[in-house]
Amino acid sequence: MTHGVHRSFRAALIFTVMAALIPLQAQAQGAGLGAAGELVDPDTLRVCADPSNMPFSDQSGEGFEDKLAKMVAAKTGRSSVAYTWFPSITGFVRNTLGANRCDIIMGYAQGDELVQNTNAYYRSSYVLVYKKDGDLAGVETLIDPRLSAKKIGVVQGTPPSANMAAAKLMRKAKIYPLTVDTRIMPSVAELMIRDMLAGVIDAAVIWGPMAGYYAGKSGADLTIVPLTREKGGQRMIYRITMGVRPSDQQWKRTLNSFIRDNQTEINKLLLSYGVPLLDEHDERITQ
């Protein structure tokens, strides 16, 4: 997985309090940030992001992480947002956050040791996508026998491929590359949706936020099933956090407070992009 969860994943909580700041320190640092030993800019939200990775981030500012960054800036007293752009490849963290060129990665899977995670601001999963009016209606797991004769699209090396192999679905599967240069070609998720609508594949297994966004853009009547009932194999569900430097403890606490206080607004933003949100009981969040 590249810098936590993208490109094909992006792919897995809430809160601590920042009331213990020393008053003099708070006055000197504006909004209580930039504590001793921390390198966080107190005036500008400096974001590390991929320049072409919809629906997450894009130089056009149209990604949901771009919109979330504006929300973070406004709520933490910053006057602007500035980006360090770097593709989602090996070295992303080292060349952005690790080089002190920016202060936050907007989407990062919980548990990755390259960064310090905030509390999660959403929870999602890989999903199975198929035509709503087709013969797969009602399929909810990869072990459903109705999938055995189907050609299923899956991204190489992602967690669902192991589950598909265990279910003997890989023999007929269409394998898509883990990373592509989306500056010159469509997202893999977009290609998978196109292929499904053209009959090249019967179904697709995609990271949920990407599936929801590109299924919505297609205008087709598609079913999106979060793979929350898989038994054994790789985990399908991930908590997504913001990533900061290990040294930036006060900054993490500030972001945790932001997430806690603005969760409803964050959910509304994510749902507007078609992100399949899951609660702690693996039920869909719809509002």
Closest CA to 5 of 88, 70, 66: 88
Q: What is the pLDDT of residue 37?
A: 66
Give the pLDDT band (50/70/90) at residue 119. Answer: very high
Confidence check: pLDDT of 254 > 60: yes
Confidence check: pLDDT of 194 > 80: yes
For every residue of 142-177, DSSP letters joined together read TT-GGGTTS-EEEETTSHHHHHHHHTT-TTSPEEE-
Give the pLDDT band (50/70/90) at residue 23. Answer: very low
Query: Quick one: how far is CA 165 from the chain centroid?
Result: 25
CB 45 within 8 A of CB 76: yes
* CA gyration radius, the chain: 20
Confidence check: pLDDT of 94 > 80: yes
Average pLDDT of every residue of the chain: 88
Closest CA to 36 of 249, 257, 262: 249
CB 41 within 8 A of CB 31: no
Confidence check: pLDDT of 34 > 80: no
- d(CA 45, CA 81) in angstroms, rounded, equals 5
Residue range(s) in the chain whose domain bears CATH number 3.40.190.10: 23-122+238-282, 125-226
Confidence check: pLDDT of 114 > 80: yes
CB 34 within 8 A of CB 103: no
Instruction: Please give the average per-residue pLDDT across 275-280, as a whole number.
Output: 98
Confidence check: pLDDT of 154 > 90: yes
Q: What is the pLDDT of residue 28?
A: 28
The class that CATH gives domain 23-122+238-282 is: alpha beta
In the three-class reduction of DSSP (H, G, I as helix; E, B as strand; rest coil), residue 77 is classed as coil
Q: What is the pLDDT of residue 7?
A: 47
Handedness of CA 81, 270, 273, 239 (dihedral sign): positive
What DSSP character marks residue 173? P
Q: What is the pLDDT of residue 111?
A: 86
| DSSP-derived pairing of the beta strands 222-226 and 80-85 | unpaired
Most confident range, picked from 6-15, 86-95, 203-212: 203-212
Instruction: Please give the average per-residue pLDDT across 187-197, as a whole number.
Output: 96
What DSSP character marks residue 2? B
In CATH terms, the fold of domain 125-226 is D-Maltodextrin-Binding Protein; domain 2 (3.40.190)
